[in-house]
Amino acid sequence: MNQEMLRRLVLKDWHFNRTAILICLGLGALSLKVLTLPSEGAFYAGSVLLISVVIGLGIHLVISTVVYERKHQTLPFVMSLPISPMEYVVAKILANLSIFAATWTILCVATLSVIWASPGLPNGLLPLAVILLAELFAAYCLTLAVALITESEGWTIVMLVVGNLFFNYFLYFITHLENIATHLQSPVAVWNRPVWWTLAAITTTISLSLAGTLVAQTRKTDFL
Amino acid sequence: MTDPVVQFHGVSKRYSHFLLQDVDLELPRGGIMGFIGPNGAGKSTVIRILMGLVRPDRGEVRVLGQDIPKGQVQAKRDIGFGSEDLRLYRQTTLDWHMEFVRSIYPSWDQSYADTLLRRFDLKRDQKVKGFSHGQRVKAALLLVLARRPKLLVLDEPTTGLDPVARAELLDELMEVVVDDDRSILFSSHNTLDVEQISDYITFIDRGRILATDDKETFLDRWRRLRLELPPETVLPNPPGVVSTQRQGHLCVVTTNQFEPETPSLYSAVGATVTAVEPLTLEEIFIATVRTSREVQPS
Amino acid sequence: MNQDFILSQADGRPMYRQIMEQIKRRVAVGDWLPGEQLPSIRELAAAVRVSVITIKRVYLELEREGVIVTQQGKGSFVAEDLELSQKLHEQELEVHLQNSVRVASILGLDPQELQERLAHIYKSRNEDTE
C-alpha cells in the first residue's frame, strides 16, 4: 500500500468535509444541552436531535465522499493519480471511518458523560445509549459498503431508507427486550448478557460490511 | 530502438452491448498518436484499459515499461491523464488543485504552471464552480502539463472547445514533444486536430482497430484519381481500390494503395488521368469506416 | 532564423508540401542563407504546430532535392550551393511547364499551338512593362 497517497486522499476528504464536521459537533453540543433540561419533552427532543445529527453526518459523508466523487465526475481525476483501485477503496474507508468515528466518539463520550452526570437521567440508560449509537455506526458502515460496492446513488439511497426504517424497528425491539427494558430506569447501569450479545452482533456487522467491501473490490474489473 | 511507450497486444473486453476485439496498438517514444473513431467506437475503453482502470478479458498491455494493470501505480506517476468527462472539485479553487497535484508529483514545475495560468488566462483563486467549460478543460490540462509527464493520455481533449481555446491547447501539446522523451496519445473525433499534430494515426470503429500507421504513410497511400474514359473502357482493378464512381465519360477512383505507377495503369487502358488528388484525413477516415462496415455489417 | 510559417488549411496540397514550398521560397529570396543552420525537427514542429513526422519528411525531401544538407549529430543546414536559388527557380518552372503540357493535351492543343500561346503571353507581358 502506498501510504503517502492514502494519507493525502484521506486528508483531502477531511478538508472538504471540515464545515460539515464542525456543524455536526455544534448541533451535537446543542442536543446534549437540550437533553439535560429538566423535562421529559426536552429529553426526547434532545435524543432525537442527537440521533439525527449522527445519521445526518453519516448520510452527508457517504454522499459527498463516495457518491459525488462519481456523480460530479471527479473520479477520473482521483483514479488518474498514482493509486490502485484497491488503494482508492481503502482510502475511502479510512477517510469515512476516521471522520465519522472521530465525530461519533466525541458525541458518544459527551452523551454518556451527560447521562452519567445528570441527576435527572438514570444511569440505567447508559447501555441503551451505547447500543443505539453503536447501531447507528453499523448502519453507517453498511451504507458506506453499499455505496462503495454498487457505486450507485440509487442503491445508496435505498440503503439509507432501509437503515433508518430499521433503526425505528430496532429502537422498539431493544426497548421492549425484557432484560434491557426493565433496567432502563435503574440508578446503576446494568451490563448484562443481552447487552453484550447485541453489541457483539453490531460489531460483527461492522466488520463484515467492511471486509465485504474489500472483497468486492478485488472482484471488480471496471473502476471508472 | 527503445521500447514503445504504449503497447497493446490482442486486447479484448466484452460488455453486454459492446465488444472490444483484439486491439493491437503501439506508440513509439516521442510520438503523438491520434486515436480517431466515431462516438461509441471504443476509444474511451481503450484509454481506460491503458490507465489500468478497466481490466481486459484477454491480451497484454504495457505502458512506460510497466505491465498494466499490475504496474499501474508506477506507470501513473509518469502519465498525465485528461478526459472530456474529468471534472475538478467544484467546491474549491484551482490553487488548491495545484497544491494537491504538486504535493504528489516531484516533477511539478511551478514556473511552467504560472506561465500556463497566464497563457490560459485562468485565475488560481477562483472556485472551479465558476469556470466555463473551456476554462475547466484548460485548468485540468494545466494540472497535467505542469507535471511534465512522460506520457500524456487525453480522451477527447478538444471536444466542446471554441476554436481559440482549441488552438491554445494544440500549441501546448506541440510544446510537449519538443522534448523527444515525451509522448502523447489522444483520442478525438475531430480529424483536423489529429491531422495537424499527430505522427501516428489509429482508426477505431465498433470495437476494432481498422488501421494504424504513421500519418505520412496514411496520407500518401490514399489518392483520388479523376479519369476521362472512352466509352466501353474496361478499368483495371489493382489492389487497394476502395471505390469507383463512373458517370458517362468521367470516373473517380479512390485507392488506399497508391504508388507512383498507379496512374499509368489507367493510361494503359486508354483513360486520361486528369488529376491525382490527396484526401484529407477526414475523407480517409470516413472511407475506411464505410468500407469496414460493408465488409462486416453489425 | 524566423520560424513562423503560415499554413493554409484550404490549400489542397499536403502540409509537408506547403512547408517545403515555404522553406524553398525563403532560401530562394535569400532570407535563409547558404550554410545557415535550420531549426531542429522538433523545434520547427512545435513552431509550425505540425507533427514531428511531417517535418522529418520535409527535411528528408529537401535533402533529396539538394536544398539542405543534414550532418549526423549536427543538424541540417541550407546547402552551400551558390547556384541553389537558380536551381529552385528551374524546378518551379519545370513544374509549371509540365502542368501546361498536361492541360494543353486535355484541350487537344498540339505543341505548335502551345508554343504560340506562350509566345503571345510573352509579348503581351513585355508590352505591359514598357
State how far residue C101 is from chain B, nearest Cα, in angstroms: 12
Instruction: State pLDDT tens for residues B110-154.
Output: 999 999 999 999 999 999 999 998 899 999 999 999 999 999 999
Residues A5-47: tens digit of each pLDDT: 999 999 999 999 999 999 998 998 898 888 888 787 888 888 8
Confidence of residue C130 (pLDDT cuts 50, 70, 90): low
Instruction: Please tell me whether residues C68 and C22 are part of one structural domain.
Output: yes
Residue C26 in domain:
yes
Q: What is the predicted pLDDT for the residue at C128?
A: 66
C89 and C48 part of one domain:
no
Report the mean per-residue pLDDT for chain A. Answer: 92
At position A100, the amino acid (one-letter code) is F
Contact C55, C76 (CB under 8 A): no
For residue B200, name the pLDDT band (cuts at 50, 70, 90). Answer: very high
* pLDDT at site C84: 63
CATH number at residue C60: 1.10.10.10
Question: If 0-12 CB within 10 Å is exposed, 13-18 middle and 19+ buried, where does residue C80 land?
Answer: exposed
Same domain? B163 vs B32: yes
Residues C88 and C71 in one domain: no
In-domain check, residue C6: no
pLDDT for residue A18:
92
Q: Are C60 and C21 found together in one domain?
A: yes
Among B69, B76, B92, select the one facing A80 at the smallest CB separation: B76
Chains C and A lie in contact, requiring 3 or more CB pairs less than 8 Å apart: no
Rounded to whole angstroms, how far apart are CA atoms B259 and A102? 73
Taking the alpha carbons of B269, B274, B280, B283 in that order, is the dihedral positive or negative?
negative
Under a CB-based contact definition with an 8 Å cutoff, are residues B128 and B92 in contact? yes
Expressed as residue numbers, the domain containing B252 is: 223-278
**Mean pLDDT for all residues in chain B:** 91
* Pair (B198, B248) in one structural domain: no
Verify that C20 and C73 share a domain, yes or no: yes
pLDDT of C90 reads 80
pLDDT classification of B270: cutoffs 50, 70, 90: confident
Q: What is the pLDDT of residue C82?
A: 55
C19 shares its domain with C71: yes
Chain B: residue nearest A220 by CA?
A: B55
* Residue A212: pLDDT over 90: yes
In this predicted structure, the answer to whether residue B1 has a pLDDT above a threshold of 60 is no
Average pLDDT rounded to a whole number, residues C40-51: 88
| Domains contained in chain B, number | 2
Domain-terminating residue out of B169, B192, B214:
B214
C-contacting chains (≥3 CB pairs under 8 Å): B
Average pLDDT over residues A80-106: 94
Contact (CB<8Å) B214/C46: no
Task: Tell me if A65 sits within 8 A of A71, measured CB to CB.
Answer: no
Residue B25 lies in a domain: yes
Q: Do B90 and A72 touch (CB under 8 A)?
A: yes
pLDDT at C96: 87
Per the model's pLDDT, the better-predicted residue between B79 and B161 turns out to be B79
Domain count, chain C: 2
C19 touches chain B (CB under 8 A): no
Residue A155 contacts by C-beta under 8 Å, 6 or more apart in sequence? Answer: A146, A147
Share of chain A above pLDDT 90, in %: 66
Q: Answer yes or no: is B67 within a domain.
A: yes
Q: Write the CA distances from B12 to B47, B171, C35, integer angstroms.
A: 13, 34, 54
List all residues 6 or more positions away from B216 whose beta carbon is below 8 Å from its beta carbon.
C16, C53, C54, C57
In this prediction, residues B260-273 reach a mean pLDDT of 88
pLDDT in the model for residue A92 = 96
Inter-chain CB pairs, B–C, below 8 Å: 53
| Window from A7-11, B2-6, B84-88, C102-106 with minimum mean pLDDT | C102-106
Q: Are residues C73 and C88 in the same domain?
A: no
A222 contacts B53? CB cut-off 8 A: yes
Distance from CA of C56 to the nearest CA of B (A): 10
Residues C50 and C74 in one domain: yes
The DSSP result for A68-85, as a single string, is HHHHTT-HHHHHTSS--H
- Copy the grid coordinates of residue B124: 488560481
A-B contacts (CB, under 8 Å): 63
Per the CB < 8 Å rule, is B89 touching A224? no
Q: What are phi and psi of A36, to 5 degrees?
A: -90, -5
All cell numbers assigned to B253: 477512383
Task: Answer yes or no: is C4 within a domain.
Answer: no
Compute the distance between CA of residue A114 and CA of residue B48 in angstroms, rounded to an integer: 53
B77 in a structural domain? yes
Would you say residue C66 lies in a domain?
yes
Per-residue confidence at B163, pLDDT binned at 50, 70, 90? confident
Sort out which chain C residues have CB atoms less than 8 A from B214's CB and list them. 53
B138 and B34 belong to one structural domain: yes
User: In sequence order, which residues have a C-beta less than 8 Å from that of residue B115 and are 6 or more positions away?
Assistant: none
Looking at the structure, tell me whether residues C19 and C66 fall in a common domain.
yes
So what's the pLDDT on residue A50? 87
Cell, residue B98: 495545484
CATH number at residue B185: 3.40.50.300
The reply to whether B234 and B204 lie within a common domain is no
Cell of B193: 486536430
Cell numbers for C92, please give them.
518551379
Subunits close to B (at least 3 CB pairs below 8 A) = A, C
Please check the confidence at residue A52 and state whether its pLDDT lies above 70. Answer: yes
B50 and B143 belong to one structural domain: yes
Mean pLDDT computed over C46-70: 89
Domain identity same for C64 and C24:
yes
C-alpha cell at B171: 500549441
